[in-house]
Amino acid sequence: MLLHLAIQDYAVVDHLELDLAAGMTCITGETGAGKSIMLDALGLCIGDRADSRAIRPGETKTDITASFDIASNTRAKVWLAERDLEATGECLLRRTITAEGRSRAYINGTPATLSDCADLGQLLVDIHSQHAHQSLLRRPTQRSLLDTYAAAEALIVEVSDLAQQWRLLEEEHTRLLGRTEESDARRELLTYQIAELESLDTFAGELAQLEEQHKLQANATFIIESANAIASGCETQRDELARLVQLANDARMTSDSTANLRELLQSALIQIDEAQAETARFAEGIEVDPERLHATEERLGALHDLARKHRVGADTLPELLATLQVELESLTGGSAQLEDIERQLSDTALAWRLRAEQLSAKRREAATILSQRVMATLGQLAMHKCVFEIALIPFGDTRPDPRGAEDVEFLIATNPGASPGPLSKIASGGELSRISLALQVVAADTATTPTMIFDEVDVGIGGGVAEIVGELLHTLGSRSQVLVVTHQPQVAAKGNHHLLVTKEGADQVHSTLTLLEGEARIQEIGRMLAGTKLTDNTLAHAREMLEKI
């Protein structure tokens, strides 16, 4: 439960320290004194968005700290432990906001995100605002209230996640299906082109080989004649070189100074012998073969024709074949992927349907119990002839929906014999306030948060009904810590504790907080009953109301 709230320089509050106890605590004061401001400040600690304009005028920042006893709050301790935050008997939430708009949040002294503060805050505090009856007119609010009462939060998350997965799979399936229709013609073309390239059976480097062969075959006659002329010339030059080598080796020429000359001549003789032999070997491999030349030219023509067809170089045809094969495989794989997506769609839809059926069963059971308890509570609130029903309306579309298989609508009949209709069309403002209060009280009865805050939820209710509201909240306070901001003396008189908020000052106003006991509390209840003019009768009435606690 909430143990302590410290507020520094927030709105009209300069410094406020608030100690809280178990049971029902009522907070009263004149309009504008700062009652709801305290709850707004607490909201900042549990993840509400900050507004730098809320900082007290003339100050540089606001600092708010809330301390909670979590010794019996297992869910909060588990949440803290999972994040390696200290999870002892007390939990401290702190929020600072600067005039420049910078905001920082802390959990047990460790910096935290607003999302974390909000997640933890849901395990610590449940706030019911004075505008709850307005949102109650909307189906999403009604559905959320029923799901919470049915303890189906985890199940609705599963249903929502499965529906989202199904939607994503459906989008992917639609995209792939469109691609498949467009790719049929492409697949047929690729199959033909690949077969054509494979029948050509070309390979890397074949073009260069063919061009070399064609060059030799086309010039075979010239090459043979030139090779013979080269061989003949080499033979003539060899005879001359042999004579020169003989002269250089004459004893009369041999000396150290002619050694290099003899070596060069001998080397030239060897080179010309090798040139003659190489020419002979080259000439032996050349023959005039018109048929082979024709075959080579046809092969080259086939390569270049197909290359022009695909607008690529003839030497890149093998690469083109590989590229087309990869594309065809991807298109074939697209069909397999489409089948896989369809299987996933079916599996996900089945999983959603099973969870949705479980959620529907929980909703039906909870709707029966909740409607009966709300009608019983409305009877206490002077609406005993009212009929309250919860309708589960199946969706016409059978596709997975994040909301489940049906929508939820609260129906009411305020006159005997009338058919129940939607709240927005049947209930008046005062009736709607009481219906909202009944729902909040009944729902709070099964709430798991240890602290519940009711911020002026009794607006529009007075007299004996207000006294019943106070008794309901008092009973609720016996099970959980209840904080009630109220203008109703009948409600305030039912509290176990009473805090008075006042605003003081002229130029620089500030709010103060006082714990009322004894005669001071009688005086405040009297003020709430009669305004500023207190009489003995008013005070006696106030004393009588407090004696009924």
Q: What is the CATH number of the domain that holds 509?
A: 3.40.50.300
Q: Over 80: is that where the pLDDT of 419 sits?
A: yes
Is 197 within the bounds of a domain? Answer: yes
Beta bridge partners of 409: 391
What pLDDT, on the 0 to 100 scale, is given for residue 91?
Answer: 92
> Three-state secondary structure along 401-459?
CCCCCEEEEEEEECCCCCCCEEHHHHCCHHHHHHHHHHHHHHHHHCCCCCEEEEECCCC
Identify whether residues 508 and 536 lie together within a single domain.
no
Identify whether residues 246 and 218 lie together within a single domain.
yes
Is 91 within the bounds of a domain? Answer: yes
Locus of tokens 């959980």: 480
Is 415 within the bounds of a domain? Answer: no
What whole-number distance in Å separates Cα of residue 162 and Cα of residue 131? Answer: 33
Identify whether residues 507 and 535 lie together within a single domain.
no
Is 389 within the bounds of a domain? Answer: no
Is 116 within the bounds of a domain? Answer: yes
Identify whether residues 294 and 183 lie together within a single domain.
yes
Domain of 540, in residue numbers: 517-549
* pLDDT band at 501; cut points 50, 70, 90: confident
Give the HSE-up count for residue 20: Cα atoms under 13 Å, Cβ half-sphere. 30
Q: What is the DSSP string of 49-63?
A: PP-GGGBPTT-SEEE
Give the contacts of 245 (CB within 8 A, at least 6 positions apart). 262, 265, 266, 269
Is residue 195 within 8 Å of 263, Cβ to Cβ? Answer: no
Q: Over 80: is that where the pLDDT of 177 sits?
A: no
Give the contacts of 37 (CB within 8 A, at least 6 positions apart). 10, 11, 12, 13, 511
Q: Over 90: is that where the pLDDT of 65 sits?
A: yes
Q: Over 70: is that where the pLDDT of 447 sits?
A: no
Number of domains in the chain: 3
Is 317 within the bounds of a domain? Answer: yes
Over the stretch 312-361, which tens digit does the pLDDT of each residue have?
Answer: 898 999 999 999 988 887 776 556 777 888 999 999 999 999 999 999 99
Identify whether residues 181 and 95 lie together within a single domain.
no
Strand 90-98 to strand 406-413: parallel, antiparallel, or no bridges (unpaired)? Answer: unpaired
Is 83 within the bounds of a domain? Answer: yes
Identify whether residues 107 and 227 lie together within a single domain.
no
Is 372 within the bounds of a domain? Answer: no
What pLDDT, on the 0 to 100 scale, is given for residue 452?
Answer: 85
Identify whether residues 250 and 311 lie together within a single domain.
yes
Identify whether residues 496 and 543 lie together within a single domain.
no
Picking from 316, 333, 350, the residue at the C-terminal end of a domain is 333
Q: What is the mean pLDDT of the chain?
A: 85
Identify whether residues 466 and 524 lie together within a single domain.
no
Identify whether residues 3 and 67 lie together within a single domain.
yes
Identify whether residues 93 and 203 lie together within a single domain.
no
Identify whether residues 42 and 90 lie together within a single domain.
yes
What pLDDT, on the 0 to 100 scale, is given for residue 166?
Answer: 95
